[in-house]
Structure formats: C-alpha cells, structure tokens
Amino acid sequence: MPGDERSEKQAAAQQAVDILHEISTILNCHLDRRTLSICISMVENGVNPEALATVVKELRKEGQEAQVESSAAAARRR
Amino acid sequence: MAYLAQLGALADELVASLAAAALDTAEGRKRQAADRESALRGIRFHSFLGTNQFDVEDQLKGFDERFRVIGRESLADALSERLAALDPHRNKWTPDVLRFILELADQPAQKSDLRN
C-alpha cells in the first residue's frame, strides 16, 4: 500500500536523523535535533555544507548578542 | 522560484531555531528579517568547493584515532557504532551532511560527554 510505503520511508528518514544527531552529539556540535533536521533538509536542497556551517555559526553569534541585549534592556527597565 | 521559496522557508526555520529574537517588538522583527537575509546570502553566495567524500571519511577516521590515542575508547566506539548504523541509510547527500557536522565539531576529544 502506498501509505504504508510512505510511513516506512518516513520512519527510515527519522532513524537516519536520529543517528546523525547522535554523531553530532559525539562530536560536540551543539546542535539540537530540530536544527539538525532543518540543516539536513537544506543540504538535501543543494546547500553547500561548509557555507551552511558558516551561517549556523553566525546565527548563533547573533542569537547570543540578541539575548545579551534583551537581558540588558530588561535590567534597565527594572 | 519554487526552490528559492523552499530555501527561504528553511532559512526562516533556521533563524527561528538559532537566533530567535523577541518577535513582539519592531526591533526583534527587524533583527529576524536581517538574520534571514544574511543567512540566505551566506548559503547562496560562497566560494566553498563541493564535498570530497574521501576527505570526510579521513576526518572521521582521524577523530576515531585521536579518541583512542587519548584513552577515550568509549567515544571512539560510540562514533564507529553510529557510523556503522548509518550505513543502510546512506544516500547521495550523506557525505555532505557529515561534512556539515564535521565543520561544527567543537573539540570533541576534550569536551564531549557521552552522558549527553
């Protein structure tokens, strides 16, 4: 049945993401499963992996800066 | 066009996952839009070469050896176990995904903790 086939494929894909997530944890990549899953989809859409890794590093930096700024703003309001 | 739309949607998710600014403020929305633009620019315009799957394998072997040399056999075993488990799931994108993971590896020999 096509539905069964699709769910089998989905299960296999989930399993592959789980294994890749475990590898990323062993290599201390600081990636959660959701982020890794998004990145895998991007790579499967032809995005260069090194360019994507550079973008991830930049976004993390941005996220940290935004967090510091919002904490500072919250402290000023108090 | 569909490709760009899909890439844009994925970039939105990536920004939300990694650099989630408070979207309830105009500043937060501006920041998120700028992050999205910068992410899309970064993935579309770059000078990186394609992935060499032999380099990827060499790098993974290198990690295995380094873990064993410094006495972290459990880490080496965990890595080779996962790589063996990945074998039946390999497709044409697997070397690229592993390349991506290797790029983000952060001193695993010193910092990785299997309890995580």
Q: Virtual CA dihedral for B23, B24, B30, B34, nearest 10 degrees?
A: 0
CB contact under 8 A, A26 and B82: yes
CB B109 within 8 A of CB B70: yes
State residue B22's pLDDT score: 60
Cα(A51)–Cα(A9) distance, integer angstroms: 29
Give the closest residue to A60 by CA, choosing from B104, B9, B96: B104
Q: What is the pLDDT of residue A16?
A: 96
CA dist., res. B65 & res. B76, Å (int): 8
Q: How far is it, in rounded angstroms, from Cα B78 to Cα B5?
A: 38
In B, minimum Cα distance to A24 occurs at B101
The partner residue sitting opposite B82, judged by closest CB among A19, A30, A48, is: A19
**Is A44 an 8 Å CB contact of chain B?**
yes
* pLDDT for the residue numbered A25: 96
Taking contacts as CB-CB distances below 8 angstroms, the residues of chain A near B97 are 20, 39-40, 43, 49
From first to last of the 116 residues of chain B, give the pLDDT tens digit. 678 888 999 999 999 998 876 656 787 788 888 999 999 999 999 999 999 999 999 999 999 999 999 999 999 999 999 999 999 999 999 999 999 999 999 999 988 887 76
Residues of A in contact with B103 (CB under 8 A): 49-50, 53-54
Q: What's the pTM?
A: 0.89
What pLDDT shows up at residue B1? 61
Residue A76, pLDDT score:
77
- Tens digit of pLDDT for each residue in A1-59? 567 888 888 888 899 999 999 999 999 999 999 999 999 999 999 999 999 999 999 99
| A4 vs A61: which has the higher pLDDT | A61
Specify the DSSP element, H or E, that contains A56.
Answer: helix A49-77
Contacts of A46 in chain B (CB under 8 A): 3
Residue in B with minimal Cα distance to A10: B89
Cα(A39)–Cα(B92) distance, rounded to whole angstroms?
15
- pLDDT in the model for residue B111: 86
- A72/B contact by beta carbon, under 8 A: no
Report the pLDDT value the prediction gives residue A9, as an integer from 0 to 100: 83
